[in-house]
């Protein structure tokens, strides 16, 4: 059975451009309920731990340097079949390939600076939520 929660975060470039509120508004309009929110900043070591699953990828250094370059907005969102529904909602990883009207199409800059992260499985969603939030910060 698929879960009702997924983890997402507004990435540093989208934060710098002032898109956080617009993105959160769009998430809500899309039928996702925001049940946790936190503006924070990852150290390089934290970004490396968060993206450990990608540590063998050629873009790992670029990804972790970027993700620790400025504040992010960490969010937990709730909806039926959350992981898949949210990934469909934000659009393809590369904003150039993302469907019109999706968050990555509207707010993304390039494949690395693609506005938002979205968990890719229920297991990773649970781990990523725990990485950023304690139980008492989730409503
Ligand atoms: P995200 O959903 O945060 O999970 C892993 C990230 O790696 C992904 O979004 C992209 O931003 C990033 N990524 C994937 N492919 C590339 C690439 N070829 N170059 C740089 N970053 C990438």
How do the domains of the chain map onto residue ranges? 5-134
Measuring from atom 21 of ligand 1, which residue has the nearest CA? 112
**The pTM of the whole model exceeds 0.95:** yes
Largest Cα–Cα separation, the chain: 38
One of 1.20.1260.10, 3.30.300.30, 3.30.70.141, 3.40.50.2020 is the CATH number of 5-134, namely 3.30.70.141
Q: Is residue 7 a contact partner of residue 128, using CB atoms and an 8 Å limit?
A: yes
**54 CA distance to ligand 1 centroid (A)?**
9
Query: CA of 105: how far to CAs of 23, 41, 48, 91, in Å?
Result: 12, 24, 26, 7
Strand 33-40 and strand 5-10: the pairing is unpaired
CA-based nearest residue to 77, from 14, 128, 112? 128
Q: Which pLDDT band, with edges at 50, 70 and 90, does 107 fall under?
A: very high
The predicted-structure confidence for 58-106, as pLDDT tens digits, reads as follows 999 999 999 999 999 999 999 999 999 999 999 999 999 999 999 999 9
d(CA 127, CA 121) in angstroms, rounded, equals 10
- What percent of the chain shows pLDDT beyond 70? 99
Q: Return phi, psi of residue 127, to 5°.
A: -65, -40
* Structure-block tokens of residue 105: 């199409």
118 lines ligand 1 (CB under 6 A): yes
């Amino acid at each position: 059975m698929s879960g009702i929660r997924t983890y997402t975060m507004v990435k540093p470039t989208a934060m710098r451009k002032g898109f956080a509120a617009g993105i959160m508004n769009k998430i809500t309009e899309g039928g996702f309920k925001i049940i946790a929110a936190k503006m924070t900043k990852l150290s390089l070591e934290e970004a490396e731990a968060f993206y450990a699953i990608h540590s063998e990828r050629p873009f790992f250094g670029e990804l972790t340097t970027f993700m620790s370059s400025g504040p992010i907005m960490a969010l937990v969102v709730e909806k039926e079949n959350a992981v898949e529904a949210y990934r469909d909602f934000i659009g393809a990883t590369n904003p150039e390939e993302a469907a019109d009207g999706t968050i990555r199409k509207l707010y993304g800059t390039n494949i690395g600076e693609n506005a938002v992260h979205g968990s890719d499985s229920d297991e990773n969603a649970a781990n990523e939520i725990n990485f950023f939030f304690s139980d008492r910060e989730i409503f």
